[in-house]
Chains A and B, each alone.
Chain A
Amino acid sequence: MSDGDSYYGQPVLNPPVWAALDIAGYLFLGGLAGGSSLLGAGSELTGRRGLARVTKLGAVGAISVSLVALIHDLGRPSRFLNMLRVFKVTSPMSVGTWILTAYAPLAGLAAASDLSGRAPRVGRAATLGAGGLGPAVASYTAALIADTAVPVWHDAHRELPFVFVGSAATAAAGLALLGAPPVEAGPARRLALIGAAAELLASRLMEERLGELAEPLHHGRSGMLLRASKVLTVLGVGFGAVLGRRGRRRAALGGGMLLAASACTRFGIFEAGMASARDPRHTVAPQRGRVAARR
């Protein structure tokens, strides 16, 4: 018999076919790359060579793995270049493809020049270029997943970009704290604080706006990941940004926690969306509410 609220409990939507490891992994690595390039540009401008090295390598590493993951997730990986047939502002994936097409070579040049010591002017220009594109790389992914019918992702579209840039900042700061000499890591410590504050605040606002839809943000595997993210963020800032001033080990421990926190945020948001897409109540109840409000 029909329960009246759904068709045999079947989802209304076809849930995303994206693999968590590829796409949530990319949300994390893309943020790490974009944030790292920003730190790289800042290091370049302020003469912090150790910090520059770590962030440039981090950026190119993260974006390289990202590109592999993105292509791997395609149903027809051999056709990935079809992404470059068109530019569509109505498709965040199209916009993102073009951002990455501009960004990845710059990140590569910046790292190659830094490592080899060759073509310093080109390297500097590439570093600044990658740094300029970094915020776009780190933030557009929020529109990528929000521009779907998945209830949690779509309805979080106002706060999600801020959650994501906060998470990108903490990830990049975390990597810098892990790898850079503490005397140069001051900006990373401050960015960790700023990013963590932004992410925690934006997450709070997002949960409030979502109301009953926020259920997957608190329960199940996604809830667990997001709770872990908050704990790791606070501890990571404590160890990395506060205690990490004196002692490389504490800084590295904090940095590792911040990286883990950012990954937990991305996988948690990804899983929360998947859960909301699978549950017909999350699609039907808000829509019924809208219909009732119009009557």
Chain B
Amino acid sequence: MSGREAGGETAPGNRLRLSVHQSGGNPARDAGYVDPPPRVGFFTDTSICIGCKACEVACKEWNQVPDDGLLQTGFSLDNTGGLSADSWRHVAFIEQGKPLGIPAPDADAGPDGEMRWLMASDVCKHCTHAACLDVCPTGSLFRTEFGTVVVQEDICNGCGYCVPACPFGVIDRREDDGRAFKCTLCYDRIGVGMEPACAKACPTDSIQFGELEDLRDRAADRLAELHAAGVGDARLYGERPDDGVGGAGAFFLLLDEPEVYGLPPDPVVTTRDLPRMWRQVALAAGSLAAGAAIAFAGRRR
């Protein structure tokens, strides 16, 4: 396939370290698109998230994602709970007894009299190596020309395989509908040159949409800025093309360990181990046949 011609191409700079599982910088090209547009994604800078949930609302409205009930979770200001078939953006709220650098007027503060309140808008990562797409048995999940991962709702038969395949807990089955749903990175909007609804609605530009290469540069600059300002906890999450999912199309700047935000610290696409799984299955199948042959061999009874 001509899309493979560019398999040896590497991204600008030396950011891209190829591992066995990785084939190149552009998953759309790997999927067979000839001369696709640049890969796009999200850079979500949680250090400037104010927890307004405009992203959640804009996403629901634009994509006509149904109401999933009013749930009072008790998780700080978070009454969404997590990403699901009916929540394609989810703002996490974490209260910590850690210093922010600004004295807190609150009695509910840490031992040193300070507290901080982390907020972060989570979304589908649009992985370079997407397990949901790999395991989908109908071809409903597909790679778009922008390098994103989208469910074709007219194909999905609700087998549910994508749900436990996702290492981030993003995609889910809508129970009253039966099909799987997740963020499309507003495939309809980006196709006509608009930015996704969540990024458009974000009042602080915590959610930034753009070409992935640009976003990675921007994120590196922002990280350096925060480190220079003394925010040593700041780190990028999902931006490295050599991670277990080949880098995320939607990556983050976090202020604490990923698991604090409900994110897996070292996600790996499950299909990375699939060749070994098939080998073991073949060995086991052969053993079963051999066992049966032994059971029938020799004695007559």
Contact = CB atoms under 8 A, between A and B. Distances in A.
Contact of A2 (B96, B139, B159): B96
Contacts of B220: none
B63 interface: no
Interface in A1-39: 1-2, 4-8, 10-18, 34-35, 38-39
Interface stretch (B8-16, B51-59, B183-191, B279-287): B279-287
B267 A139 contact: no
Contacts of A147: 135, 165, 270-271, 273-274, 277
A14 B84 contact: yes
A50 interface: no
Contacts of B173: 17, 75
Interface string B148-178: 0000000111111101111111111111011
Contacts of B274: 90, 92, 143, 147
A188 B295 contact: yes
B178 A93 contact: no
27 contacts: A4-B257, A7-B94, A11-B169, A14-B164, A15-B164, A46-B296, A74-B159, A75-B173, A75-B174, A75-B179, A76-B158, A82-B140, A88-B139, A91-B161, A143-B281, A147-B270, A149-B166, A162-B287, A165-B285, A169-B292, A186-B300, A190-B294, A194-B294, A198-B291, A277-B164, A284-B264, A291-B265
Interface in B236-284: 257, 259-267, 270-271, 273-274, 276-278, 280-284
Nearest to A31: B288
Interface residues of B, number: 79
Contact of A157 (B84, B167, B174, B280): B280
Interface string B88-104: 00001011110000000
Contacts of A74: 157-160, 178
Interface in B67-115: 73, 75, 81-84, 92, 94-97
A276 B151 CA distance: 27
A9 to B, nearest CB: 10
Interface of A: 1-2, 4-8, 10-18, 34-35, 38-39, 42, 45-46, 73-77, 79-80, 82-83, 85-86, 88-94, 97, 134-136, 138-140, 142-143, 146-150, 153-154, 157-162, 164-165, 168-169, 183-184, 186-188, 190-191, 194-195, 198, 277, 280, 283-284, 287-288, 290-291
Contacts of B155: 79, 82, 85
Among A11, A42, A138, A143, find the residue whose CB has the most chain B CB atoms closer than 10 A. A143
B2 interface: no
B295 A93 contact: no
Q: Which of A16, A135, A146, A194 has the most C-beta atoms of chain B within 10 angstroms of its own C-beta?
A: A135
